[in-house]
Amino acid sequence: MCELDGARGKERTRRSCNTLFQSWKHQYVYFTRVNSEETTLEDLFFAHPESINMLNTFPTVSVMNSTYKTNTYRMPLFEIVGVTSTKFTYSVAFAFLSFEQDDNFTCVLEMLVGLLTSKLNMPKVIVTDRDTTLMNAVAKVLPKIYHILCYFSY
């Protein structure tokens, strides 16, 4: 995890997180969630402004999936991809999650909804794998949206 408390063994990770945030200062929209002691970053959601524009232009289909601790921060990386009307894909947003639990996915989906300029721009279809925690979060945050399971990722 990305420690913010300055513990000696985590100093390199803390510096890399600070460098990451500084490089995003004017280029990305991002939201963070920290634990109750406010010492550990739990979730980091980020999107490029052009991706947000694409989301609001082509909101119909969103594909969501995550990788498992294959990055420097040893946190699952959750990716949201959109599909245009000409069947091209584009990255909507990414999130580093501390855990793949209902509250983490719920938080990320609420942040995604917050990027939409209008409730009329809600996605119509969401495609995910058979991750039950993600499926529960989609049903909770986006209950009126069609949810399709992708078997190709297996």
As given in the structure block, the two tokens for residue 134 are: 């993600």
Domain annotation covers residue 75 = yes
Domain that holds residue 15: 8-149
Domain annotation covers residue 54 = yes
pLDDT 10s digits, 83-137: 999 999 999 999 999 888 999 999 999 999 999 999 888 999 999 988 899 999 9
User: Which pLDDT does position 121 carry in this prediction?
Assistant: 87
Domain annotation covers residue 2 = no
Please give the C-alpha separations between residue 82 and each of 95, 110, 135, in angstroms, as whole numbers.
Answer: 15, 16, 18
As given in the structure block, the two tokens for residue 130 are: 């058979």
pTM exceeding the 0.85 threshold for the entire prediction: no
Domain annotation covers residue 122 = yes
pLDDT 10s digits, 7-53: 333 344 444 555 555 555 558 888 888 877 767 778 889 999 999 99
Q: Specify the number of domains making up the chain.
A: 1
- φ, ψ for residue 26 (rounded to 5)? -115, 5
Domain annotation covers residue 154 = no
Q: What is the CATH number of the domain that holds 29?
A: 3.30.420
Domain annotation covers residue 3 = no
